[in-house]
Structure 1
Amino acid sequence: MTGKLDYKKDEKMYYLPAEHPVLITIPEMKFFMISGKGDPNTSESFSDAVQALYSISYSIKMSPKSGNAPEQYQEYTIYPLEGVWDLEQADESSDFSRLDKNRFIYTLMIRQPDFVSESFAEDILGIVKKKKPNPKLDEARFETFQEGLCVQMMHIGSFDSESRSFQKIEQFLIEQGLSRISHTHREIYLSDPRKTAPEKLRTVLRCQIH
């Protein structure tokens, strides 16, 4: 296979959904992950986790220059940061936009190309730990994850305004006779909040359903 892999072009169905709920089946994907707890706006641990995941991802992308790329390496665009969110003592009536953010439980992750094997992932993690020390690297893990049947939509706006999109998702599920597997949901961050106005942020919201 030749050509650069670009999720924005090759996998639009997963990363660029409509601004209304749609059903989709998500296949098996590979990720580096770091789990944590607390308010993402004030937690140094959260920032360290994000930095650690990007350090790993950029090291994999640049591995040909260091001479340790896997045989099947293919040029690609780094995948966006994602987060799976839950709450301590969550229930189906919980509104994430109005809750104490210190109760948040999260797993941050960045997807990796299919050519990344477990052995290569272990090797690259060891290299990054030596070159770019970060306390969260010791918590990083490489896993394969398959979401299966999901509902997702693009949310345009601030993170605190996501409740309006979740309301659309809930109404859609009622109309379809479906329900969420749990209160947990996934967010895929397509905008850099440091450079984008809150009202223009683009975030994919996704829930596993049955």
Structure 2
Amino acid sequence: MKIDFKKELAAYSARRGVFDVIDVPPLRYLMIDGHGDPNTKAYGDAISTIFPVAYKLKFLSKRELERDYVVMPLEALWWSADMSSFTTDRDKSQWDWTALNMVPDWVTDELFDRAVAAAPEAPAIERIRLGTLDEGRCVQTLHLGSFDDEGPVLAEMHDEFIPSRGLRMTGKHHEIYLSDIRRTDPAKLRTILRQPVASAGT
């Protein structure tokens, strides 16, 4: 039986026009770190490395462990010394990022090493790693539209909703790309926008 974690995990469900407060469990990811505008070779190389490794992991898991699953969508963490670069001026050159792809918790370091060894031609293969992200309490919503139109939604999340609930931002801005950018009209892109939070008093 093939598992689709998008349907199994509540963290991969969000509502447009609604900010939900959720608890995200620790999850395992393929990760590649970088800096700067995502419309660059470095970010493209990260994507062109993560998915070949992700599919090799899937096939190793299916063949050797008899545990099959749907490869998860691209995700990314974004942060900057000046968070206004996300909500107002959108200066992408100031952004740091970690490209992500979630993998099942049964993926071992040994299986990961073998998948990496099987993809030597991937352009950023020396930068990929396997790690755990523990975000805990988060606020998230579904954004429909171009990435460049996220600013007002994030401003409302950061400056209005989060403070109004007695919360403060922690961790890094997280995006989950539910649409294939290569085949989807920008106006119809579906992206989960997530921000880890904690009580303002802690």
The equivalent residue for 1:9 is 7
Secondary structure, counterpart of 1:62 in structure 2: helix
Equivalences, count: 196
Secondary structure, counterpart of 1:123 in structure 2: helix
User: Cα RMSD (Å) of the superposition?
Assistant: 1.7
Which of 10, 14, 18 matches 2:15? Answer: 18
Contact 2:60–2:111, Cα closer than 8 Å, also in 1: no
Q: Structure 1: which 4+ aligned runs deviate by more than 3 Å?
A: 93-97
Q: Structure 2: which 5+ residue stretches go unaligned?
A: none
The answer as to 2:82 corresponding to 1:90 is yes
- AA of the residue aligned to 1:14: A
- AA of the residue aligned to 1:90: D
Q: How do 1:123-162 and structure 2 match up within 5 A? A: 123-129=114-120, 133-162=121-150
The percentage of counterpart residues that share the same residue type is 33
Q: TM-score, normalised by structure 2?
A: 0.90
Rounded to whole Å, the distance in 1 between the matches of 2:119 and 2:105 is 20
Rounded to whole Å, the distance in 1 between the matches of 2:37 and 2:156 is 25
Q: TM-score, normalised by structure 1?
A: 0.87
CA gap of 1:142–1:64, structure 2 versus 1, over 3 A, is closer
The equivalent residue for 1:200 is 188
The answer as to 2:100 corresponding to 1:109 is yes
Contact 2:87–2:152, Cα closer than 8 Å, also in 1: no
The equivalent residue for 1:191 is 179
- How far is the alpha carbon of 1:64 from its aligned partner? 6.0
- AA of the residue aligned to 1:77: V
- How far is the alpha carbon of 1:96 from its aligned partner? 4.4
- How far is the alpha carbon of 1:134 from its aligned partner? 2.3
Q: Structure 1: which 5+ residue stretches go unaligned?
A: none
- AA of the residue aligned to 1:192: D
